[in-house]
Amino acid sequence: MAVMAQEVADRYAAYNGDCVEVMQSLPASCAHVSIYSPPFAELYNYSSSEKDLSNCATYEEFLQHYEFVIEQISRLTMRGRVSCVHCMDLRRPGGKEGVRDFPGDIIRMYERHEFWYVGRHIIWKEPLRAAIKTRALGLRHGQLVKDSSKCHVAGADYLLVFRKDGENPIPIEHAEGLKYYAGAEPVPEGLLTQFGNGWTDQRTNKLSQLIWQRYASSVWMDIRVRRVVEFRGGRDSEDEKHICPLQLDVIERCLTLYSNPGEVMLTPFMGVGSEICGALGYGRRGMGVELKESYYRQALANIKQILTAPATLGLFDQDPDDEDVAGEDAEEAAG
């Protein structure tokens, strides 16, 4: 196995290396669920490695490279279990008009590798922050003033859900319903008081029914963008400054719906360890691969933080765009 470093423990395994090479060495059907956000082609470059998907010369080359990842995810996923992919539409580079249907391309690749596409959740994004992340002039108020024909939509994030073909050998059961809600919208205190310790008759469990209705919704409006793991230590001075840790609310919803306590969550693009930290904090085990050394080191630091102080999970209250948003707000106010 071609790895630069690794740390394997009872509850997690973290590898610093190319995800395709590492996954090829792992046993088949070892993952109960996978959760990840792939590199976004033509948008950011995360490292200088030729093995980094973000360094592909063209979008078509990127898709060819990415499909090797999906092939391995399929091999490692148990029959009847789920893979969750966080993605978005991609604006074409060089100021070209229109967007690429990246989610659609992901769906078609997954369907070529024994997965059924079963749906997507739309994750709402605030337009100003979307403008800053994508550097899109079409989302600026100044463009509205000049010529709104060139304005466009503040694209949402998507969580694509795929199920591996075959029968799930281990049902994912919620005998007492759902007790915890990951999101900004509060749950009525009365429901927590009455049903928060579990409820044997699920026909009358109003707390669990409320949480399920929100999780089953096709649009997630209350994902907390600041509820992420520590990421600033993963930055390299030579690389782009943008880091996009996946929000813990998204990870915890996926873990709740698609895994049992103690099961293994796989993430091929580990980054700074968001998915593994979410898995550990939520009573699961984590297995992840990260190519970029600085991200890998920060992931290990975050994992150790969660293992020693699990109550700190998601309490960092930080947003990668905070500094840029402040400057953009001022510019917008100025005209």
Q: How confident is the model at residue 300 (pLDDT cuts 50, 70, 90)?
A: very high
What pLDDT shows up at residue 326?
A: 40
Please say whether the beta carbons of 34 and 266 come within 8 A.
yes
pLDDT at residue 84 tops 90: yes
pTM of the predicted model as reported, rounded to 2 decimal places = 0.88
Please give the C-alpha separations between residue 28 and each of 68, 77, 321, in angstroms, as whole numbers. 15, 7, 39
Domain with 13, as residue range(s), is 3-174+225-333
Question: Quick count: other Cβ atoms within 10 Å of Cβ 87?
Answer: 19
Task: Specify if 255 maps to a domain.
Answer: yes
Average pLDDT over residues 304-313: 84
Task: Specify if 205 maps to a domain.
Answer: no
What pLDDT shows up at residue 297?
A: 94
Q: 121-130, 160-169, 201-210: lowest mean pLDDT where?
A: 121-130
pLDDT at residue 141 tops 70: yes
User: Which of 76-85, 225-234, 299-308 is predicted most confidently?
Assistant: 76-85
CA angle (132, 134, 139) in 5-degree steps: 70
Task: Specify if 11 maps to a domain.
Answer: yes
Taking alpha carbons only, the member of 117, 9, 37, 24 closest to residue 76 is 24
What sections of 112-188 are H helices per DSSP? 127-134, 141-146
What pLDDT shows up at residue 331?
A: 40
Q: pLDDT digit string (tens) for 246-295?
A: 999 999 999 999 999 999 999 999 999 999 999 999 999 999 999 999 99
Q: pLDDT digit string (tens) for 51-65?
A: 556 666 788 999 999
Longest Cα–Cα distance of the chain, Å, equals 60
How many folded domains does the chain comprise?
1
pLDDT at residue 150 tops 90: no
Task: Specify if 295 maps to a domain.
Answer: yes
Q: Which residues are CB-contacts of 188 (< 8 A; sequence separation ≥ 6)?
A: 210
CA angle (141, 146, 148) in 5-degree steps: 70
Q: What sign does the dihedral 187-118-160-32 (CA atoms) show?
A: positive
As a residue count, the chain comes to 335
What sections of the chain are H helices per DSSP? 19-24, 59-76, 102-111, 127-134, 141-146, 189-195, 206-216, 248-258, 274-281, 293-308, 322-333
Q: Which residues of 302-314 are buried (b: 16+ CB within 10 A; e: fewer)?
A: bbebbeeeeeebb
For residue 80, which phi and psi values (nearest 5 degrees)? 75, 0
The mean pLDDT value of the chain amounts to 86
What sections of 34-95 are H helices per DSSP? 59-76
Please say whether the beta carbons of 286 and 280 come within 8 A.
yes
Please say whether the beta carbons of 207 and 192 come within 8 A.
yes
Q: pLDDT digit string (tens) for 186-240?
A: 999 999 999 988 888 999 999 999 999 999 999 999 999 889 887 555 455 555 5
84 — alpha (psi -120 to 50), left (phi > 0) or beta?
A: beta
Task: Specify if 20 maps to a domain.
Answer: yes
Task: Specify if 159 maps to a domain.
Answer: yes
Q: 10-24, 87-101, 136-150, 263-277: lowest mean pLDDT where?
A: 87-101
Task: Specify if 268 maps to a domain.
Answer: yes
What pLDDT shows up at residue 314?
A: 60
What pLDDT shows up at residue 131?
A: 80
pLDDT at residue 322 tops 70: no
Task: Specify if 155 maps to a domain.
Answer: yes
Q: How confident is the model at residue 333 (pLDDT cuts 50, 70, 90)?
A: very low
Q: Which residues of 137-151 are buried (b: 16+ CB within 10 A; e: fewer)?
A: ebbbeebeeeeeeeb
Q: Assign residue 266 the CATH number of its domain.
A: 3.40.50.150
* Sequential DSSP letters for 220-233: E----TT-----GG
Q: pLDDT digit string (tens) for 7-41?
A: 999 999 999 999 999 999 999 999 999 999 998 76
Higher pLDDT, 310 or 189: 189
CA distance linking residue 46 with residue 243, whole number of Å: 8
